[in-house]
Amino acid sequence: MLIRKIAAAVFAVLALGGVQAVTAAPATAAPRILYYDASQAQEFKSVVDQGAQIWNSRVTNVRLQPVTAGRTPNIRVYADNGWPRAYTSSLGNGSWYMGRQAVNQGYYQPRIAAHEFGHLLGLPDRRTGLCTDLMSGSSAPVSCTNPNPNTREASTVNANFASAAAVPARTFVWSGAQQ
């Protein structure tokens, strides 16, 4: 036990002396700001903003803000005729598409937007079929109009950003058939 404590102390000293200090985020830490660019989201710009606001109202450790001039966005949002989908490069970074294939099938647009942002916030698909789960995505009925993460999903996102969780690069597609 003592050796473990000494090792931890040595590691902490080394970390502080290193280029990147690894420290636990205090509870009062400022949220990580992620800038998103919806300028290429075509007719879905406002629903992209809505998806961001949904997350901002439910998590504390990260905030999604529209990118300001001259700044490189963390997240780029596009629109096309395919399935909604997300491409993550690391936690909080990547891009997603508002896909008209799901919109035209009647899936609720704010739910799609919040779901795809959810991938950028480190959540995988969980095809539970439940409308109460945001990350159930297309497995919930088309009639599902719940755009909100449940408490487990929100707390997972808070934990991801509290610990700067490592998230591998991945592609997530709205339609289960294409996974």
* Residues forming the active site: 116
Give me the least distance between CB of 137 and Zn ion, in Å please: 4
- Chain centroid offset of residue 82 CA: 20
Q: For residue 85, what are its two tokens? A: 């989908």
Stated length of the chain: 179
Give me the least distance between CB of 86 and Zn ion, in Å please: 6
Give me the least distance between CB of 127 and Zn ion, in Å please: 9
Q: Give every CB contact of residue 124 below 8 A, 6+ residues apart in sequence.
A: 135, 170, 172
Nearer to Zn ion, 137 or 149 (CB): 137
**Binding segment toward Zn ion, per CB under 5 A, in 36-44, 67-75, 133-141, 159-167:** 133-141
Rounding to the nearest 10 degrees, give the CA dihedral for residues 49, 55, 33, 70.
Answer: -10
| E strand or H helix at 52 | helix 45-56
Euclidean distance between CA atoms 85 and 163, whole angstroms: 25
Nearer to Zn ion, 94 or 137 (CB): 137
Task: Say if residue 93 is exposed, middle or buried (CB neighbours under 10 Å; 0-12, 13-18, 19+).
Answer: middle
Nearer to Zn ion, 137 or 147 (CB): 137
Window 110-129: contact mask with Zn ion (x via CB under 5 A): ---------------x----
133 contacts Zn ion (rule: CB under 5 A): no
**Binding segment toward Zn ion, per CB under 5 A, in 4-12, 16-24, 57-65, 166-174:** 166-174
Nearer to Zn ion, 3 or 108 (CB): 108
Q: For residue 131, what are its two tokens? A: 């409308």
Binder among 92, 99, 137, 149 for Zn ion (CB under 5 A): 137
Window 23-42: residues binding Zn ion (CB under 5 A) = none
Question: How many CB atoms sit inside 10 A of residue 77's CB?
Answer: 28
Window 57-96: residues binding Zn ion (CB under 5 A) = none
Tell me the three state secondary structure of residue 51.
Answer: helix
Using CB under 5 A, list all residues that contact Zn ion.
125, 137, 172
